[in-house]
Amino acid sequence: MDQNGMPVVKFFSGKQIPVELHKVRIVQKLHLKKIDERYTAINEAGYNTFLLNTKDVFLDMLTDSGTNAMSDNQLASMMQADDAYAGSQSFYKMEEALREVFGKHYVLPAHQGRAAENIISQSFIKEGDVIPMNYHFTTTKAHMELNGGTIFEIYTDEALKIKSSVPFKGNIDIEKLKNLIAQYGPDHIPFVRMEASTNLIGGQPFSMQNMREVKAVADQHGIIMVLDASLIGENAYFIKMREPGFSNTPVKDILREMCGLADIVYFSSRKVSSTRGGGICTDNKDLYMKMRDLVPLYEGFLTYGGMSVREIEAMAVGLYETTDDTVISQSPSFIAYAVGELEKLGIPVVTPAGALGCHIDAMGFLPHVPQSEYPAGALAAALFIASGCRGMERGTISSVRDENGNDVLADVELLRLAFPRRVFTLSQTMFLIDRVNWLYQNRNLIGGLRFVEEPPVLRFFLGRLEPVGDWTAKLIKKYKEDFGNSL
């Protein structure tokens, strides 16, 4: 174990590295194209990494959503799927897995996480309500606001600090929660939401202690608690590694305790169980009945909810694998390695290392690019040009304009480099680190971006941008000087 508690192997030389605790049995050919081709690709994609075609991408670090490697057992289970519109045996296997892993009796399937958010928001939020949470996710916020709610992010002072040694930056500030309840009253608070491994602030977990305290406050006021469990495996893993009293507790028991504190647990299966789909679980029949009838309306019948039966089979297996201490450690160990190496090189990166990916602080990386010129988006485009690796902008481009049409500058400008579970090897990780380092040494060459086409809703998905000035040409010239014909 290293200082973050990650399983690592020590070499005779003393060096410590993460090791792939699986073997590769199915492979996909990758393409590392020449820099001029990478430039053409990002230009055609409007400097938006979402619009790239994977035939041009070397390491696809856009997301871990639907891109985790599936296991042999998951693939095998798909062959046994029971095709039926209603009453499929595959659904009952998945229901059983969810009852065992999350410990909740009632299960509603949904085609993915945001579909679960739609159902929960429509069922519980009314005009004028407020929803306290540790931090929003893009789709969560959009659904809650669509239903007339306003979100309040009541994170602790440490949450948005890039460099930190606080192990649980995803915690809710209990005083802020109490104040919010006193200000708005429990009748206007349909639920408190906690997001495991808080995505947008760098995959940062909350502690069990914090969740217990939030639950106690919510209970005092008769407010229910909703847990976004999309990244619960990693959050449970960090509790095991970082929270006193849990080092000998299996991840599966920690995960059960977390779910036990929530009244409703929902998830994106694209993340938590390495397949597609999503769902909602609860032990409370009244809550279940409030949501149930929306499933056939938006998703599909109650025993498939918009998913294929094959995915449902693989989800059941994937859920058990998520609670395996070795399986769940893989992505965090590679992230911790990458974060550690980047830190040694002086590159500003979110610490402590979290779940999902390694998050580079674009404002620290490119202090000369004003936030209005989207430093995280510019860095994502520059990294693609320099390496063929695609990351995701998580900053101002991912925010929405205010009612006057002005950009709302994001709290943090991050370039997220996702590490889907069991997908990339150590040499690929080293390549990424090398090219990020090269960019950092040449950061003064990188400029900003501006929109040329901007959709009004979730603009980061489909918006198109262009460089401000001719910085891409300068960057490519320097790359060729330094790397010659090397890819």
Q: Does 137 bind ligand F0G (CB under 6 A)?
A: yes
Q: Does 299 bind ligand F0G (CB under 6 A)?
A: no
Catalytic residue among 228, 263, 283, 361: 228
Active site residue 137: yes
Residue partners of 216: CB distance under 8 A and separation at least 6: none
Q: Which of 129, 153, 173, 228 binds ligand F0G (CB under 6 A)?
A: 228
End-to-end CA distance of the chain: give it in Å, rounded.
Answer: 35
Question: Collapsing DSSP states into helix, strand and coil, what is residue 150?
Answer: strand
Active site residue 12: no
Active site residue 394: yes
Active site residue 228: yes
- Would you say 354 or 447 has its CB closer to ligand F0G? 354
Q: Which of 169, 240, 270, 421 binds ligand F0G (CB under 6 A)?
A: 270
Residue partners of 307: CB distance under 8 A and separation at least 6: 109, 111, 269, 276, 277, 300, 315
- Would you say 295 or 369 has its CB closer to ligand F0G? 295
9-10 and 16-17 strand pairing: antiparallel
Instruction: Tell me: cis bond preceding 352? Omega within 30 of 0 counts.
Output: yes
- Would you say 8 or 62 has its CB closer to ligand F0G? 62
Query: Taking contact as CB under 6 A, which single stretch among the options 111-119, 238-246, 366-374, 447-455 is the one that binds ligand F0G?
Result: 111-119
Question: Which residue(s) pair with 417 in the sheet?
Answer: 358
The 8-class DSSP code of residue 453 comes to E
Cα distances from 290 to residues 201, 264, 287, 426, in angstroms, run 32, 12, 5, 47
At its nearest, how many Å lie between ligand F0G and the CB of residue 112?
Answer: 3
Print the binding letters for residues 367-406 with ligand F0G: x by CB under 6 A, - otherwise.
----------------------------------------
Q: Does 279 bind ligand F0G (CB under 6 A)?
A: no
Catalytic residue among 47, 102, 106, 137: 137
At its nearest, how many Å lie between ligand F0G and the CB of residue 196?
Answer: 7
Active site residue 461: no
Footprint (CB under 6 A) of ligand F0G, residues 33-72: 63, 65
* Closest-CA residue to 253 (of 272, 239, 268): 239
At its nearest, how many Å lie between ligand F0G and the CB of residue 206?
Answer: 12
Residue partners of 327: CB distance under 8 A and separation at least 6: 71, 321, 421, 422
At its nearest, how many Å lie between ligand F0G and the CB of residue 195?
Answer: 5
Length of the chain: 487
Q: Which of 5, 18, 109, 113 binds ligand F0G (CB under 6 A)?
A: 113
- Would you say 8 or 380 has its CB closer to ligand F0G? 380
Phi, psi of 49 (to 5 degrees): -65, -20
Q: Does 195 bind ligand F0G (CB under 6 A)?
A: yes
What is the Cα–Cα distance from 276 to 288, expressed in whole angstroms?
22
325: exposed, middle or buried (C-beta count within 10 Å: 0-12, 13-18, 19+)? middle
- Summarize as ranges the residues that interact with ligand F0G (CB under 6 A): 63, 65, 112-114, 137, 139-140, 195, 199, 228, 230-231, 268, 270, 278
Active site residues: 85, 137-138, 228, 271, 394, 460
